[in-house]
Amino acid sequence: MFSGAEIAQLLTGLGITHVVTVPDSTIGQWDAALSSASGLQVIRVCREGEAWGVAGGLFFGGKRPLVLIQCTGLFESGDALRNIVHDWKLPILSMIGYRSYLNQSTLPGDTSLVFTEPILDAWKIPYKLITEPSQLALVREHYQSCIGNGTPGCALIAEGKA
């Protein structure tokens, strides 16, 4: 869908300072580009729930973090997300890989497709579903809007094709 260079350029252009992440086979391909991007630090965590707490601490400290995880990590990290985003009202941005959206050949009947969007709705995270490479500008616009409004926001990146 996107190259690491495209994502790194997008994030640095938005003023993102830290990417707090657990990789999957798609977003993990961006690791080298994100790690080498000037002004961007990659914070690798052990489990996705940690990512929201670390991002919250970074935000308290004056930084602009982004959580980069797969949708399965979203499922894992609900309580941490709830506390940081809704209890403490910290407008954390996220980019979430949508497993199997474009191709279910590896995992036929993947229930990620059943639960991901309803869970984002349940957690009241404004998101944009991104299914085409041409939609990179939409990701930028969504994040810019969220930053401007001081709200959380997510780009849900369809996975399954190169």
Nearer of residues 63 and 128 to another protein, judged by Cβ? 63
Decide whether 62 or 148 has the Cβ nearer to another protein.
Answer: 62
Give min distance, CB of 113 to another protein, in A.
Answer: 27
CB pairs under 8 A, 24+ apart, for 124-128? Answer: 124/86, 125/81, 125/85, 125/94, 125/152, 125/153, 125/154, 126/151, 126/152, 126/153, 126/154, 127/96, 127/153, 127/154, 127/155, 127/156, 128/154, 128/155, 128/156
Positions touching another protein (CB under 8 A) are 18, 20, 41, 43-47, 49-50, 52-63, 65, 79-80, 82-84, 87-90
Rounded to the nearest whole angstrom, what is the least distance from the CB of residue 32 to another protein in the complex?
A: 18
For residues 111 and 149, which CB has a smaller minimum distance to another protein in the complex?
Answer: 149
Cα→Cα distances 43→19, 140, 150, 158, Å: 6, 22, 23, 23
- Residue 18: CB minimum distance to another protein, A: 7
Both structure tokens of 26: 């798609």
- Nearest approach in angstroms of CB 57 to another protein is 2
Nearer to another protein, 88 or 161 (CB): 88
- Between residues 43 and 113, which has the closer beta carbon with respect to another protein? 43
Nearest distance in Å: CB 58, another protein: 4
Q: CA geometry: angle at 104 spanning 1 and 70, to 5°?
A: 55
Q: Tell me which DSSP letter residue 140 carries.
A: H
Measured CA to CA, the distance from residue 115 to residue 72 in angstroms comes to 10
